[in-house]
Amino acid sequence: MTAVNAGARLDRLPISAFHRKVFTLVAIGMFFDGFDIYIAGTVLGTTLKSGFSTMGQNAAFVSMTFVGMMLGSFFTGFLGDRFGRRFTYQANLALFGLASLAAAFAPNMTVLIGLRFLMGVGLGAENVVGYSTLTEFAPSASRGRWLGFLAVVVVTGLPVAVLISTVMIPAFGWRSMFMLGGIGALVVWWIRKALPESPRWLESVGRNAEAEALLQKIEASIPGKLAPVLASGPAPSRALATLFAPPLASRMVLGCIALIVINTLIYGFITWLPSFFVKQGLSIATSFNFTLIMSLGAPVGAAIGALTADRWGRKPTLIGASCIAIVFGAIYPFVTDPVWLPLVGIALTIPMYVLVALLFGIYIPELFPTEVRLRASGICNTFGRGATIVTPFLVVKLFTDFGVFGVLAMMIGLLFVLILTVAGLGIEPRRRSLEELGGGTAAETAPIPALAR
């Protein structure tokens, strides 16, 4: 059977309306993923105040969210590699949208917790499939930038969720937030029916005729003369067992450790900021204002990651951002001035979200071949999401015994682990084709090809 050479043909394409369409279709779904993760704090505060929930039920709500995300991350990897990116993407978005709509009508907190578990499954799946899908379409010369901007869209859900909650909840109640998320997700589900399947995946499962037809359609939509296709050998067959043998085993270790670290940073510090501020003696209003200021560091940090990943490389950016976060993490516990506290806080938040953009959006999906990309990313995300289940208990213990200093000490220790892991096990995917990276360690020393930008 004649090879389609999908990877090389996609990598030589200049950025066009086709790429912007794929980016938009993926990004609008990913935005609702980020939006929904961050509405939990405002919703739970309202349900607690109104008597709809108790503190114990709120804890169960948060816990079931992450249990669902962990399971969604794991199983969607197997579904995505078996049935395709497009099918899996649409299925998880429909699950999330329908469960969110149902949550708006939940008669009691027990039902809401069960629906939140289903929403978590969809959210966990979306994160794995979304980044991996765009990874397989974006040309290698600008792949980091496009994936980074996708992460910007996702983390923008943090300040947007905070702002919309302040308007919607007082006027329409907490149910309106689930209604908004559910309707938005289902509208996106309908629009995203136009999302094409990945030609790389089609070729990897032997559906060469479909891959060829799709590639010809894509190439015909590109104006001007296309660059010649760089020859590449046939992709090796990849079974699940290859993830636990060289060269992919070390990448699996790296991916799991990296996502455990970044999930703990975000859900062990960022989402606890309002509680930290209140416990430190600030009013609820001041706590909200400080949290909002610091949340602006999320899209700024992700944008920096997007703009630097292709210029500086993934490994230098990851290590550099970790070092900066360590510096401001060491300073933060000693700042008490109400002017400097949010400023140092946003300086700490920015490098954390550089790491979010690089790890979730860019680096982890690049580490693995097309045949096993979703399964590998799903397993790594499963470990990362699993860490969020125990993180709240650890944070409460550290904060109770040592204050915010204890929490930041844990974060700094994890950042050192991340630096050592990336430096020791990491490869540099900058401007290299996914097929080259999937071939093993030779990709690390090969010259960088001059590809279309």
- Domain ranges in the chain are 8-205+240-444
Computed over every residue of the chain, the mean pLDDT equals 84
| pLDDT the model gives residue 435 | 76
Query: What pLDDT, on the 0 to 100 scale, is given for residue 442?
Result: 39
Residue 259 has pLDDT above 90, yes or no: yes
The separation between CA 397 and the C-alpha centre of its own chain, rounded to angstroms, equals 27
**pLDDT value at position 271?**
67
Give the residue-averaged pLDDT of 292-298. 80
171: left (phi over 0), alpha (psi -120 to 50) or beta: alpha
CA-to-CA distance for 243 and 249, rounded, in angstroms? 5
Q: How far is it, in rounded angstroms, from Cα 274 to Cα 52?
A: 21
Residue 123 to residue 65: CA distance in whole angstroms:
9
Q: How would residue 451 be classed by pLDDT, with cut points 50, 70 and 90?
A: very low
pLDDT confidence band for 88 (50 / 70 / 90):
confident
**Residue 30: pLDDT band by 50, 70, 90 thresholds?**
confident
Q: What is the pLDDT of residues 386-445, one digit of tens each?
A: 888 888 778 878 888 888 888 889 999 999 999 999 999 999 998 788 877 765 543 343
Residue 236 has pLDDT above 60, yes or no: no
The whole-angstrom separation of Cα 289 and Cα 301 is: 19
What is the mean pLDDT of the segment spanning 168-175? 88
Q: What is the structure's pLDDT at 108? A: 95
- The Cα 254–Cα 33 span in angstroms is 25
Lowest mean pLDDT among 68-82, 177-191, 384-398: 384-398
Counted residue by residue, the chain has a size of 453
Given a cut of 50, whether residue 171 has pLDDT beyond it is yes
pLDDT for the residue 452: 35
pLDDT, residue 262, reads 93
Contact between residue 422 and residue 254 where contact means Cβ atoms under 8 Å apart: yes
Amino acid at 47: T
Concatenate the DSSP letters of all residues of 133-202 into one string.
HHHHHS-TTTHHHHHHHHHHHHHTHHHHHHHHHHHHHHHH-THHHHHHHHHHHHHHHHHGGGPPPPHHHH
Over residues 96-117, mean pLDDT: 94
Q: What is the mean pLDDT of residues 66-80?
A: 86
- As a whole number, mean pLDDT of residues 89-104 equals 91
> What was the pLDDT predicted at 231?
60
Mean pLDDT across 187-203: 89
Q: What is the pLDDT of residue 443?
A: 39
The structure tokens 């970790």 sit at 322
CATH architecture of the region 8-205+240-444: Up-down Bundle (1.20)
Report yes or no: 153 and 34 within 8 Å, Cβ to Cβ.
yes
What average pLDDT does the segment 269-281 reach? 66
Note the pLDDT of residue 318.
96
Per-residue pLDDT tens over the stretch 346-367 = 898 999 999 999 998 889 988 9
Lowest mean pLDDT among 90-99, 219-228, 299-308: 219-228
* pLDDT at 278 (0 to 100): 59
Confidence of residue 450 (pLDDT cuts 50, 70, 90): very low
Mean pLDDT of 72-84: 84
Q: Which two tokens stand for residue 445?
A: 């020393």
Mean pLDDT, residues 180-185: 91
Torsion of CA 441, 138, 1, 436, to 10 degrees: -10
- Asked if residues 95 and 118 have their Cβ atoms less than 8 Å apart, the reply is yes
